[in-house]
């Protein structure tokens, strides 16, 4: 792995689950590096997600493709320093219901499912990491559900900017609008309103 990949991997694992240098070194030989070109996929709909990744460079969208309506609906974005995975598919090893697509040329470091299970079984700190990881994705999933149920489109947009501060410069507006559940014109009005209120 490159120096950048190793630095981001160590930073994420240390801050996320307080893994020590020794804990991380146990896993060092298991992590692999993957480059994904813009428009290519980390994982596809109906394919089992076999890897837990960390984004070193780039931004991804998670979307569902509805064959009946020929529509794509964006659900999440992943960017630098974040875990990238279809967690339910990864956890239970059954086909994923989403696509995970690179919106820029990207780099990911990843750990295969079987290797992570071995770490869980043989190293107590990694078993703790697994619990925290599950809590993280439960919180992410429930947070997204609550946003869609209770928050205004404007509040969803503001939350997105907190999670991915430079997303507006990196991702086409129609992808952001799809994530918010609105049309492009409505997103333009939200942007203008927020600018006017500054």
Q: Which of 27, 10, 43 is nearest to 118 (CA)?
A: 27
191 in the Ramachandran plot: left (φ > 0), alpha (ψ -120 to 50) or beta? Answer: alpha
Residue with tokens 């020929």: 70
Q: Which of 71, 78, 39 is nearest to 181 (CA)?
A: 71
pLDDT surpassing 90 at residue 191: no
10-39: pLDDT as tens digits: 999 999 998 999 999 999 999 999 999 999
pLDDT band for position 198 (cuts 50, 70, 90):
low
pLDDT at 22: 93
**63-89 as b/e, with b when 16 or more CB fall inside 10 Å?**
beeeeeeeeeebbbbbbbebbbbbbeb
Global pTM reads 0.90
pLDDT surpassing 70 at residue 97: yes
- Give the residue-averaged pLDDT of 164-185: 90
Q: Which of 39, 100, 30, 93 is nearest to 65 (CA)?
A: 100
- Give the residue-averaged pLDDT of 145-153: 89
Q: Which of 117, 98, 124, 111 is nearest to 43 (CA)?
A: 98
pLDDT band for position 195 (cuts 50, 70, 90):
confident
28-69: pLDDT as tens digits: 999 999 999 999 999 999 999 999 999 999 999 999 998 888
- Helix residue spans in 44-95 (DSSP H): 87-92
């Amino acid at each position: 792995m490159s120096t950048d990949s190793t630095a981001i991997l160590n930073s994420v694992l240390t801050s996320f689950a307080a893994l020590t240098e020794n804990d991380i070194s146990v896993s060092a030989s298991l992590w692999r590096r993957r480059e994904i070109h813009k428009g290519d996929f980390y994982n596809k709909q109906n394919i089992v997600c076999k890897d837990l990744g960390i984004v070193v460079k780039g931004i991804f969208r998670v979307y569902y493709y509805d064959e009946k309506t020929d529509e794509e609906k964006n659900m999440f974005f992943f960017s630098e320093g974040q875990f990238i995975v279809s967690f339910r598919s990864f956890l239970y090893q059954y086909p994923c219901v989403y696509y995970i697509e690179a919106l820029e040329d990207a780099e990911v470091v990843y750990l295969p499912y079987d290797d992570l299970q071995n770490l869980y079984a043989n190293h107590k700190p990694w078993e703790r990491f697994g619990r925290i990881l599950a809590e993280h994705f439960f919180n992410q999933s429930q947070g997204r559900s609550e946003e869609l149920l209770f928050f205004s489109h404007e509040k969803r947009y503001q939350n997105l900017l907190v999670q991915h501060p430079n997303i507006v410069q990196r991702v086409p507006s129609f992808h952001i609008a799809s994530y918010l559940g609105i049309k492009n014109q409505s997103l333009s009005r939200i942007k203008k309103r927020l600018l006017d209120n500054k």
